Structure formats: structure tokens, C-alpha cells
Chains A and B, each alone.
Chain A
Amino acid sequence: MNKEAFLLRLREAMAGFPEDAAESSLEYYGEMIDDKMEDGLSEEEAVAALGSVEEITAEILRELPLPRLIRARVKPKRRLRGWELTLLILGFPLWFPLLLAAASVVLAVYIVLWAVVISLFAVDLSLAAAGLAAVIYGALQFVLLKLSQGAFCAGAGLVLIGLAILFFFVCRASAAGAVAAGRNLLLGIKSIFVRKADKNESID
């Protein structure tokens, strides 16, 4: 791919992005290609070294704050006409609950994600607590000279504590997974906004 084709593809991939963000990244990547070519690379090599357009746009999208994306999309490009404004106000009972519902769904997904993590940790904590209690109870039985009962309880307690330690690593992995899933969710929401805007523009 040559420079022109690459920049064209990049521009198309950023069709729904805020205009200034798209413009400045196009300048940046154009300059990179020029500098690489000045350094002795061929045009094709310089473009290939930049990686895929998808990677580049995902990286830019990750950095753009969601409110800014929404503002860039929601802000009308011209003054609203009278009837549009009336429709917007009359439609308020319709679109506001829908908006609220969408936001609640996203919030619910986040909460569910963390609820899973928290309950896993709770299970782990109760395993450890039960194990500890059993060990102490077993020791008490020893003192009372109920040797076989004591040995059984203490042994079971140690097994529970061992399980708790192993299970802790599962919990930690789930927390890391929740963080990653949360990030991907945000990226997904952002790309919905960008894509929607894309369609609107082609209708105009």
C-alpha cells in the first residue's frame, strides 16, 4: 500500500471520529511515513512498518474520552429548525427513558461483572475462615483428649485453608479479567457511537 492509499483508508476508518482528532492523527501518520522514507525506507516499507489501520484507530479510540465522542456526535452541524426542536421537546418522554434504560443496562453489566468478582472473593474468605475455625476447634478437642475427633477437624481445616489459598489465585485472575472486560466494554460503546455517526453521515 502506498502513502496516499494508507491515509485514505485511515481517514475512512475514522469517519465518525471528532474532526480535529482525525485530522491531527492523519498529519502524524503522514509525517511518520515521510520521515521513514527520508531515512531510506521505500514507501511500501514505511507504510507497512506502521501496522494495521484497525490497530491504529483502536489505539486512538481508547484515548478519546467517551463524553467528547458523544458531544462531537450529538452537537448538530447546523441550527435546529423550529419543528425539529418541537419534536425533540415533545419526544422527550420517549427518548429520555430510552436513553436512561441504555445507560442502566451498561451500568448493570458493570455491576454484574464486579458482583461475580466480589462473590468469588467472599467464597474464598469463607473457605479460609471455616478452615481456621476447624483447626482451632480440632485443637480444642485435642485438649479435651478427644484425639480422633480433634485430628479429623484439624485435618479438614487444613484442607480448607489449602483450598482457600489455591482459590485465591482464581479470584485474582477473575478481578484482572473484570478490569479487561470493563475496558473492552468501554471500547465497544465508543465504537458504537463512532459507527452510528458514520451511517447518519451517509444519509445526509
Chain B
Amino acid sequence: MDIQLKRGLLEVCVLASIKNADSYGYRMIKDMKPYVEISESTLYPILRRLEEGRLLTVRSAEHNGRLRKYYSITEAGRQRIESFLEDWKELLAIYEFIRKGGGTDE
């Protein structure tokens, strides 16, 4: 797949993985695994970028006597998911047209 396209997709996947409940890095990777493989070194810059864009926030919480970073989605993050879904609805319609070879008979 095109690398730029995959990058954009992964950003939304990361947001989707914290849409319903806060999560931490390792669990995000595990949650995404059945759908998309993402390595630790790929996830890290994405998390930083989303944090800088205020699409998610980070807090540290104690877990088993150590600190773990939990990520929660912001309102802007939710909007990002929504607009992604909207865009893809349009794309899917175009996809259907292409697949069927949609010219009409005269």
C-alpha cells in the first residue's frame, strides 16, 4: 500500500483504538493487530504527532508499581474520525462505480 496513505490510515486507527476507552501503547498495538500490523517504533511518532495536534491527551497513572502512559481521545480526535468516515463514504461510492464499470447503456 502507498506509504503516505498507510500513514494517514494508521493515525485514524490509533484514534479509533481509544474512542471508547482510554488505552496504553502496548494494548493499542494488540487491539489493532487483527486488522493492521503496527510496530512499536511506528506507533511512537504517531502518538507524538496526535498529541501535538491535540487529537489526544496523555496522562501517567500507576500500574503495578510503575508509571504507565494512558491516552484519551479529545473532541478534535473524535471529529477527525467522523470526517475520515465521511470521506470514505464518498470514496466507497466511487469504488463501486469503478468496480462495476459504471457507464450507462444508451
Contacts and interface: CB of A to CB of B under 8 A. Distances in A.
Interface of A: 24-25, 27-29, 31-32, 34-36, 38-39, 49-51, 55-56, 59-60, 62-63
A32 B26 contact: yes
B26 A39 contact: yes
A60 B48 CA distance: 10
Contact of B40 (A38, A39, A50): A50
Nearest to B66: A34
Q: Which among B40, B67, B69 has the greatest number of chain A C-beta atoms within 10 A?
A: B40
Nearest to A25: B44
Contact of B44 (A35, A38, A49, A59): A59
Nearest to B46: A63
Contacts of A25: 44
Chain A contact residues, majority secondary structure: helix
Given A31-B25, A39-B26, A60 B44 contact: yes
* Secondary structure of the B contact surface, majority rule: helix
Contacts of B79: none
Interface residues of B, number: 18
B41 A50 contact: yes
Contacts of A56: 41, 44
Interface of B: 24-27, 39-42, 44-45, 47-49, 64, 66-69
B48 A31 contact: no
Contacts of B25: 28, 31-32, 35
B41 A55 contact: yes
Contacts of A51: 39-41
Nearest to B27: A35
A38 B64 contact: yes
A35 B45 contact: no
Nearest to B42: A59
